[in-house]
Structure formats: structure tokens, C-alpha cells
Amino acid sequence: MSTENILLNTFETFENTAPFSKIKEEYFEPAFAKAIEKARAEIDAITQNDDTPSFENTIEALDKSGEALGRISSLFFNLNSAETNDEIQRIAREVSPKLSEFGNDVTLNQDLFKRVKAVYDLREDLELNQEQQTLLDKQYKRFSRNGALLSADKKKRLREIDSQLSKLTLKFGENVLAATNAFELHLPDDSRLAGLPDSAKEAAGEAAEAVGKKGYVFTLDYPSYIPLMTYADDRELREEMSKAFGSKAFNDDFDNQQNILDIVSLRHERAQLLGYRTHAHFVLEERMAKTPEKVRQFSEEILEKAKTAATKEFHELSRFAIATAAEQEHTSPLTQLEKWDAAYYSEKLKQQNFDLDDEMLKPYFKLDNVINGVFSIAERLYGLNFEATDQVDTYHPDVKTYIVKNEDGSLNSIFYADFFPRKGKRNGAWMTSFKSQWKDDQENSRPHVSIVCNFTKPTATKPSLLTFNEVTTLFHEFGHALHGMLADTQYRSLSGTSVFWDFVELPSQVLENWCYEKEALELFAKHYETGEVIPQEYIEKIKAAANFQEGLQTLRQLSFGMLDMSWHGIDPTGIEDVKAHERKTFEKTDLYPDIATSCMSTSFGHIFQGGYSAGYYSYKWAEVLDADAFELFKKNGIFDRPTAQKFREHILSKGGTEDPMLLYTRFRGSEPKIDALLKRAGLVA
């Protein structure tokens, strides 16, 4: 089989890109087995080396080991997120514990740790450069923070915990996807769709047709769910959708409550086993924030500023909603603003205050134009050139591919973009990579980077037209992609987005700022039919509306981070009721009445499936960085090359080679201040 299984060989493709169309599902299990075997042999070669441990024969060799396994893993687990099915999920359940076991075999390998420690103990005498020092420090901590110093019985327990966690987190994600796919709202006609834009109706009609039904079908995928919640006049319809969305994997066939309790208890036990008070203490030791106390202090500081504004905004929205409902003949009297009213009345209030709504803006945000716009911005800032190509294979026909070149014509990277929702693709948006960047023997091996989103699909009569929120999402993920594309480090494990989690959102969030700037908008915001550039008055309205309900938005974001910390910053073993724990946590931030059938935790994939456990605060943390950083661009010009060059040199290209605060200070000249964020958000004068 090895001769036929292309995963086991070097890809004979353009720039070594993944030959997705030729990869069969049955290739993965044997490929993983072989790759693990090869990685074990590479570790054995290090431990059995008779030469005195050195930086080259131990630390560098360890960084290079497992390359084949890493490549196969990146391909497989990206498919499991973007193009999964029952068989891929079965393989994931089989493979994940084996990968966890192998990871433990490395970090708990006493002979390997002795060699790493021998080099680490001599670090002051080795004359290492900064990147080498960082690699050595991270390799040592990789062992010391993951059980290398434990007794044999505790190492055994650590292995058991990691194996259980790999299965539980996978199951959590499978349940959320299954619950999302299980819901379908079918309406036989449009009698309940008053207020809904024609584009949303057309998309729902095509969704119904796709499953062989007449009328309209709505799902919990964002491009279907958000328009209905924002525009449908029928309050009962919004309530039904809201409750369905809020109850994903909660008291249904795909219930995640026990999975959550098991995950947080195991994470806590693991942290204590390693000598940390909680999982958050373990995680945050390797973050900019350093401690849960610092995160709580940071969150409380912003909460104090945001709560007053949010409460005022909530009461304003309530008064507006009650008055508006009273004027609408088709609407029953409204006495209490509920969660399913939020988007609907917020949109109407925004229209009243700013004469602005998404439907007015969408014709100017044709997806293809926005893509070209973000490419133009990358070219102006960093000299990158994007060429669409059919030389790169993909895992689905929707995926677009590009060859990215530097100003001198040399290859920068390969870029993949996957924009539309479909069955087998999880909700949300993310950046990932199929191959990292590294340098070896004078070669600078370039990365293969991908962004995955769930945007409004084209219909029979209209191209994909984005809401402004979708535009900022595209810019956000592209900011992550630039972090990967512009990587320029020696070592694989320090490259691109391999940085502290509360630093990784800076490149993504800072790029969102260009969406609000006239110079940038004029590059891509053009009417899809007439080619007319977005009118200046619309740009002014976008900027004026930028802080609309910022207090409520800030409160919402803080609530997610505080919920995360409530699960991971304490001993969770006494928690028996997931919903009750969540309610207690949300007391500080919730202004809307609770919905008994809803529970956010059961579908909170970022912290229970993704890598954000004890790290969700990092979105707000990075906002402080991005607001402070963008002030410099605003001062010097949003397309100022020297400023962009400094950002590239000190932030984007450096990956995780140095402490992020040092990198940021080199770029900005000082540590970030919270003032820029509070001012931008309109939370202070």
C-alpha cells in the first residue's frame, strides 16, 4: 500500500502543495501510523546519539523531527473542520488518542529530556542568537511544563488524562456540528417572511430546493441565521430561531454538558499534577497576561468603563423597541426586550440614527471585489502580489487558490480561500496552514496558508454580496494569513502564528481598521452592477456607526472571556450544573433576560474544542494592542510604507522568536496603553 499512498511520499506537485483530489480517506490511518513510526525513529536517533548533547544535535534536531507527521496532521484536521463526514470523524476519533500518546511519549521521554536539559544548563556559554535562545527555552519548557519532572505514576496518569481529553474535545466539536446540521426551519411559503431582504429569501428558497422541498429553508449557519434574526418582522419566528441557536448541544440528542464537566475537571487535574493551581495558571504562564489575576483585573477595568455605556444603550434600545412595536400593526405589544429582539431592533435603531443598514451597503461589497481590495492593501503595505491559479489542487470546488509573490517576483506563499457554508463545514471563520515556513541549508521554505469563512453564497440572480460584518471578518482572517505569509524565521515551531495566544490576534484585528478608512474603501467598495465607488456619505456613516452599541458589544465580548475564566481559573470539580454555573458567571454582564432552554457553554467551541481555553480574553487584550498600533498608522498614513515595514519587521515576520511585548515595543516605541481602545470605542471622551 505504501507505494500507492501518496501521503507517505513527497508530493510531486506544484510547490509541494497537497494533492487533495488524489488523497483518499483510507490513506490517512496507515499514513498516520507510518508518520508516527518515522517520528519515533527521529526521536530515537536523537536520544541514541553518542555525541555530547549540543544545540545542533538535540534542540535543532528536535525542531526538525516529526515533519511528516505534522504535515499529515495539518491536512487531516483541516479537512475535519472544513470538509468532514462520518468516515473522517471516525478516523479522527481513532487517531487523536494515538497522537496524544505519541506527544506524551516525546515529552515524557527521560533520555530525551536529559539531553535537552544538558543543553539548557549550558545556555549561558553557548553564544546563541535570540531565536536560538527562544527555541531552547521553549523546548525545555515543553518538557518541564508537560510532565518530564513527574514521578512514574504521575506520568502514567498524565498520559491517561491527555488521551481522555483528546477524545472528549473531539466529541464536543462533533456534537456541535451535528446539532447545527440537525436543525432546519422549513416554511412552505413567504407569509412569515415580511421584512426579510430579497437576497435572504432567495438564498432560503435555494436551500429548500437543494433538499427537495418547496418554499424556504433556514438553518443555524450564520449566513442563514443572521439575516432572519436581523430583519424578520415575525417575532415568534425570531424567537424560534434564537432558541434553536442557543440550545445547540444542550439537553438534546447531542448534549455536551457532561463533556464540559469532564473536560474542565481533567484539565484542572492535569494542571495540579504539574504543580499549578488551576488550568488557567498553567496556560497563562506562557501568555502576555501571565496570571489569571491579571486577566481578571484587565477584564474588570474594561467592564467598569463598558457597563455604564452598555446599560444606557440597552435602555435606549428597549425604549425604541417598545415604541416601534406599538406603531407596527402586525406586532403584538412588547413590554420586555428579549435576546431575539436584539439584532432586529438594533438594526432599525441604527437605520434611524445613521440612515444606514447592511442592505444599503451590501451592493458595494461584492466578495470578489473585497478579495481584490484586501490583496491591494497587502500590496501597498507589504509589496505582495496575488495571482489566481489552477495549478493548486483543492479539497472542494469552492476553494480559491493563489500564488503569492514578493516585489522581486520570488515566491512568498501559497494562499487558499474557502468562503461559503456547506454541510460538513463547521460554522465561523478561521485561518490555518497546510505547511509552515522555515529555513534550512540556505533554503527559505515558504508556507501554504488558508482562510476559511462562512459567507453569504451567490444566488441565481446575485453574486456573493457581503454584509459589512462579513467584510471585517474577511479582513480579520486575512490579517492572520499575513502573519503566516510574511513569516521569516529559522525554526518551524517558532514560525508565523506560533506566538502567545494573547498576541496572535494583533495582526488580524489591526487589519480590520482599514475597513473604516476612505482610502482603503475606495479600492474595493464598488457597486456590483454599476461599478460606482461607495459614496462618501456612506463612508462617513460607516465611521459614525462604528461605535454604535459599542458598550453592549464590549460587554458581550467580556462575558465570553469571563465565562472561559470561570471554567478554567478555579477548581471546577464541584460544579454539577453547567447552566447554573454559566448563569452565575453572566450575572455581571447580562442585561437581557435569561432563556431557560439556552446555554452558550455547550457550543463554545473556542474553549472546549479549539485552543482558546483560559485564553478567550485575548481577543479584547489584542484590541488594546491593535488600537494602539493603528494610532501610529493613522498618524503616519494608513499606507505609509516605513510604518508597514516596521510592523512587518518586528511583528509579522518574527513569529514567536522573542517575547511579544519586546517585539511590540520595538514597533511602537512604547508598551501599549488602554486609552487608545477606550477612545476608539467611544467609552471615554
Active site residues: 477
Task: Please state, in angstroms and as integers, the Cα–Cα distance from residue 251 to each residue in 186, 213, 241, 340, 427, following that order.
Answer: 22, 28, 16, 20, 20
Helix axes 235-246, 222-231, angle to 10 degrees: 140
- Which residues pair with residue 450 across a beta bridge? 416, 432
Torsion sign, CA atoms 145, 97, 436, 385:
negative
- The pair phi, psi for residue 416, each rounded to 5°, is -115, 145
Task: Report d(CA 275, CA 593) in Å as an integer.
Answer: 40
Task: Report d(CA 619, CA 608) in Å as an integer.
Answer: 17
119 touches 55 (CB < 8 A): yes
At residue 80's C-alpha, the angle toward residues 77 and 83, to 5°, is 130
Cell 471622551, residue?
685
Closest listed residue to residue 596, CA positions, set 577, 587, 583:
583
Task: Report d(CA 525, CA 166) in Å as an integer.
Answer: 44
Task: Report d(CA 247, CA 493) in Å as an integer.
Answer: 38
DSSP at 14 = G
Residue 92: Cβ within 10 Å count: 22
Collect all residues with Cβ–Cβ distance below 8 Å to 305 and sequence separation of at least 6: 678, 683, 684
Task: Report d(CA 609, CA 541) in Å as an integer.
Answer: 38
215 touches 208 (CB < 8 A): yes
As a three-state string, the secondary structure of 579-611 is: HHHHHHHHCCCCCCCCCCCCCCHHHCHHHHCCC
31 touches 8 (CB < 8 A): yes
Task: Report d(CA 175, CA 189) in Å as an integer.
Answer: 31
Under DSSP, is residue 389 helix (H, G, I), strand (E, B) or coil? coil
